[in-house]
Structure 1
C-alpha cells in the first residue's frame, strides 16, 4: 500500500507524527503543524488506511488495531526516524494509544487528543452515559444504511451532524463533500468502526502506557464524556498531564490549533505541569 503523506520540516530534526480521525485527513492538522514547524520540528501527517485509494483494503479485518499500529511503525521506518513524538486525534488517538502500549520503543512522547485510553472508555461505558454518547459507533456497524444516510441529499445530514458536534460550517461541508464524492473512501472509513467487534479483546487488554503522555480533552465534546476523560490517567504509568479545553468541541485540531500545539510542544520539551 502507498499512503498520501504531508511531510514538512528539516529531515534529521526530531519528528512529530500526526494521526487524524473520522472523517478528517492529514490536512486537518494544518493549523497545529505551523507552530511545530516554526519550532524546528519535522512534521509528518499521513492520510490513514482507507483514506487514500492506494491504501484501501476492502476487508474490515484489514482495519483491526494491530494493522493500524503496523502502519504507524512502517511510517516511522520509512521516515528514517528511530523514535517520534506521536499525536493522535479521535480514531488517530485510539491508534496512538495502542502504539504507545505495544511499541513504546518507537516513541519519545504521546499526545492523545479527545480519545481516552481504550480501557477508560470501556469502564466509562459501564459506569456512565458514555455508551449513549458514542451512539454513532453502533449505528456505523449496520450494513449500507450509514453510507446511505451520510450521502443522502448531497450530504446535508452529514453536514448537520458535523455542525451539531461543533465543527464550523465550512469544514463540515468540506468533509461531507469528500465523503459524498468518494463512496469507496466512505466505506473504507466506516470499516474502522466495523472492525471494532474483532478487536474487543485487544482494547480490553491494552496495557498501561509508560512513555511521557499528555491527554487533551474538551468540555463540549459530545462524543467523549468527563468520566472517560478523567479516568484516563489510571492507565498511564509514565509522566502524565491531563489538559482541559473549556468550551471547545470534539474538533480540537480545527477549533483550537494554537492551544493544542502549545500542549504538544510542552510535552515534547518536558516542561508541562499536571493540570
Structure 2
C-alpha cells in the first residue's frame, strides 16, 4: 500500500476553520501505518460529541457546528476518514473497502479512548458510524442520524444510482461542484476551494472515487453480511436515537422512517426534518443542527 499525505500548507487560511489537527497513528492489516487527523475542541473532561462526515467532504463540513457546540460547553471531535481531509490517502482504489474503513475508524476510536459518545453521522459517516455503534454499543450514549442509512443489499434510490454512475465515469472528480450541488445554498468560492484542498491532484482522490462503489446496495456485494449482523445489534439498541434528515435530499429520502421502524432507541424521541437543507445539511443549517444536538444531549442525560 502506497500512501499520500496532503501538505499542511494546503489547509492554511480556510474560512471559519481555525482548528488545529490532532493526529493518531494506526496500523493497517498490511503493516502500513496510517495517520488519521481529527479536530478535538472543548473541555477534555467533557463527554465527546463525535461528528462523522461522508463523501466527498471532510471535517471542514462541521466547522460552524463545532464552534456552536464548543461555545455550549461540549467537547467536539471531528475526524477525517482515511482518504479525506488531513488524513493519509492510500493511492489505489482497491486499497479502500468498507470493512477496512470500519476497522480504521474502530482502531482510531479505541486509541483515543472515546466513551459516553454522542454520535452525529451523515452520509458515509453513518455507514461507518452505525457499524461502530453496533460493534461497541457500550461506548455510545446516544445517536443522531442525518441523511444516512445502513444498507444491506436491498436496493438503492434512482438518485443514488445516478450518483454512482456519475462518480465512476466522470474523468476529473469535481469535489467542489459535488458539495455545492448537494447544498441548497450556494457555497462561496473560498468554501468550495476548501473542499478541494485535501487533493493537490487526482492521485489523492482514490478514496473519494471509490466510496460510492462500496455502498452495499445489492445482496451479493461485500459487507452485506457484516451490515446484517450490525442490524441485529441496532434492533436491540435502546439508548436515545434521533433522526434529523433534511427536506431536500433525494438520495436518502425515507431512510429516517426505516431507522425509526427498526431501532428501539428511536421510540419517543423528538424526530425532526431539517428545513431548507440539502444532502449536505451541515452546510445549509449548521445553527439548527448544533442546537438540535445540544438540546438532545441535555434532554436525554
Which bin holds the TM-score, normalised by the shorter protein? 0.7 to 0.9
**Structure 1 unaligned residues grouped into runs of 5+:** none
CA distance in 2, matches of 1:82, 1:180: 32
CA distance in 1, matches of 2:266, 2:199: 42
Change beyond 3 A, Cα 1:34–1:179: closer
Q: Assess if the C-alpha contact under 8 Å between 1:87 and 1:110 holds in 2.
A: yes
So what's the TM-score if we normalise by structure 2? 0.74
CA displacement at 1:188 relative to structure 2: 1.6
Q: Assess if the C-alpha contact under 8 Å between 1:96 and 1:112 holds in 2.
A: no
CA distance in 2, matches of 1:4, 1:11: 17
Change beyond 3 A, Cα 1:218–1:141: closer
CA distance in 1, matches of 2:198, 2:111: 29
| 2:271 pairs with 1:245 | no
3-state SS of paired residue (2:222): helix
Q: Assess if the C-alpha contact under 8 Å between 2:157 and 2:251 holds in 1.
A: no
Residue number among 218, 231, 236 corresponding to 2:263 in the alignment: 236
Residue number among 159, 170, 175 corresponding to 2:188 in the alignment: 170
Change beyond 3 A, Cα 1:100–1:176: closer
**Structure 2 unaligned residues grouped into runs of 5+:** 1-33, 216-220
Counterpart residue number, 1:223: 251
CA distance in 2, matches of 1:113, 1:170: 24
CA distance in 2, matches of 1:262, 1:67: 33
Change beyond 3 A, Cα 1:68–1:83: farther
CA distance in 2, matches of 1:244, 1:164: 17
CA displacement at 1:2 relative to structure 2: 0.6
Q: Assess if the C-alpha contact under 8 Å between 1:76 and 1:83 holds in 2.
A: no
CA distance in 2, matches of 1:34, 1:60: 34
Counterpart residue number, 2:81: 48
CA displacement at 1:205 relative to structure 2: 3.9
Change beyond 3 A, Cα 1:19–1:161: closer
CA distance in 2, matches of 1:247, 1:132: 22
Q: Which moved more, 1:48-57 or 1:167-176?
A: 167-176
| 2:122 pairs with 1:89 | yes
CA distance in 2, matches of 1:195, 1:104: 24
CA displacement at 1:180 relative to structure 2: 6.4
Number of residue pairs aligned between Structure 1 and Structure 2: 256
Q: Which has the higher helix share?
A: 1
3-state SS of paired residue (2:157): helix
Q: Which moved more, 1:54-63 or 1:11-20?
A: 54-63
CA displacement at 1:178 relative to structure 2: 3.9
So what's the TM-score if we normalise by structure 1? 0.80
Q: Which moved more, 1:204-213 or 1:248-257?
A: 204-213
Cα root mean square deviation, aligned: 2.8
Q: Which moved more, 1:229-238 or 1:78-87?
A: 78-87
CA displacement at 1:195 relative to structure 2: 3.0
